[in-house]
Structure 1
Amino acid sequence: MSRIQCERCLRPQTHCLCPLIPSLDSRTRVVLLQHPSEVGHALNTAKLAALGLRNAELRVGEVFEDLPALIATPGYRVALLFPGEDAQVLQAYSAQAQALPWLLVVPDGTWRKARKLLHVNPLLAALPRVTLSEVLPSRYRLRKAPGEGALSTLEAVVQALNVLEAPVLFDELLKPFEALIEGQIAAMGREVFERNHLR
C-alpha cells in the first residue's frame, strides 16, 4: 500500500514540507527545466525552488519544443545559469544602471543529465551563460558532489538571487531543503549517514 502524498510538494503527507515553503517575490524570473529522472527523486530541489518563488516556473522533459515561447518573455535579459568558459559573472542589479532583470533558465538533473538537456535542446545550449563569482559550500550532504563548487539546483538559484537582488536574501527557500535533508538522515539513521556520507 502506497503512502498518501501531498499533491503540492509531492512528499508523503506525514513529511509534508509545505509549511516551510515560502512564497517569495523576485525581480528575476526563474525557469527550471527538469530532466524526467529527477521528478520522483526524494530530494527534488527544483520543485522546492518553483514552489517557493512566485516568479518561477518548472517544466519537465528532455526536449522543450516550447522553449522559444518560454524565453520570449518581454522585459527580461535571458541567460542560462550554468558554468562555462564564456559565462558572465552575475552582479547585483544595483551595480548595473537601468539593467533589465534576468530571466534565468536553469537545467535540473545530475551534471550528466543537465548536459544532455543542453545537447538535445540546441537553443538552450546557444543561450548566453551566467555564473556565480563565488560559490558558497553546498549544504547537500546526501549526494556526493562531482567537483568543487557543485550545488543543488535550489542552492544555485538561491545564491544567484542573493547576488542579483542584494541586499534582499532568499535563504528562506533553503528551509524546506534543510528539513528534507535532516528527514532523510533521520530515516537512514545517523550511524549509516556518518559511515556513508561523512568522508
Structure 2
Amino acid sequence: MPRRTRIPDLSQRCPACFFRPEDCLCPACLPPVETRTRLLVLRHVSERLRPTNTARWAALALAGARLLDYGARDALLDEAPLAEPGTCVLWPGGAPLAEPPRQVVVVDASWSQARRMLQRIPALQSLPRLSLPGPPPGSLRLREPPVAGGMSTIEAIARALDLLGEPDAAARLDRIHALSVERGLRLRMGPDYARLARAG
C-alpha cells in the first residue's frame, strides 16, 4: 500500500513563500530579477505543497520564470513550452552547447522522480542538456541531497545562470537560498537553533 504524503498545515504561512509571516522570504525575492535566459521549472506535483520546495522561491525571484506541475491525476502536461526554439534541459551528462539557450527547463523532483519524468516526457528526452559543475563546498541545505554533488533546485538554477553569464541573478538566488536555510533551521529546531548559532 503506497505511503500517503503528509500535507503540512499552511494556514498560518505566507501563501507565496510558505514561511511564517515573521520569516517571510518575499521581501528578498521581490522585485523579480530580469534575466536573458527564461526559466521553465517542471515540478513534480508531490513538491507543490512542500514548505522546503526551493523552486517556488526561484520562480518568485526571476521575472518571466514559469512553474508547471507534473503528475497530477487526470491532468495532461502541455508539452508545447518544451518545444520552444533555443530550449535545453538542465541535466547531468550534456555535451557543450553550441550557443547559449534562450530557455532552460529545470526538473524539480527527487532524483528517482526526475529520472522517471525524463523517461515519460518525450519532449524532455529530445532536448539538448546543460550540465553544471559541482556545488560550492560546505553548503547548508534544508534537505540533504541523496546523491554526491546534489543541489537544491534554487542552487542549480543559480549555478546555471552564473554559467550562462548572469552572475547578478545567480547572486540573488544564492542569497535567498542562504536565508531560507537560516530561517528553515530556526523554524525546525526552535530554541536549539539559538544555542547552535551561539556555539557557531
Note whether the superposition's TM-score is higher than 0.5. yes
SS in 1 for 2:119: helix
Q: Indicate whether 1:38 and 2:47 are aligned.
A: yes
The match for 2:78 is 66
Where do residues 133-148 of structure 1 align in structure 2 (5 Å cutoff)?
133-137=133-137, 139-148=139-148
State how far apart, in whole Å, the 1-side matches of 2:138 and 2:63 are: 24
The match for 2:60 is 51
SS in 2 for 1:179: helix
Deviation of residue 71 (structure 1)?
Answer: 2.5
Matched residues, number: 183
SS in 2 for 1:170: helix
Native 8 Å contact 2:92 2:129 kept in 1: yes
Higher-RCO chain (CA-CA 8 Å, sequence separation at least 6): 1
What 5-or-longer segments of structure 2 have no aligned partner? 1-8
Structure 1 range deviating more: 51-60 or 175-184: 175-184
Query: Which letter maps to 1:9?
Result: C
The match for 1:115 is 115
The match for 1:17 is 25
What per-residue deviation string (whole Å, max 9, x for no partner) do you get for residues 158-180 of structure 1?
A: 01101102554521122232222
Where do residues 49-198 of structure 1 align in structure 2 (5 Å cutoff)?
49-62=58-71, 65-67=77-79, 69-74=80-85, 77-84=86-93, 87-89=94-96, 99=99, 101-137=101-137, 139-166=139-166, 168-187=168-187, 188-189=189-190
Deviation of residue 47 (structure 1)?
Answer: 0.7
What 5-or-longer segments of structure 1 have no aligned partner? 91-95
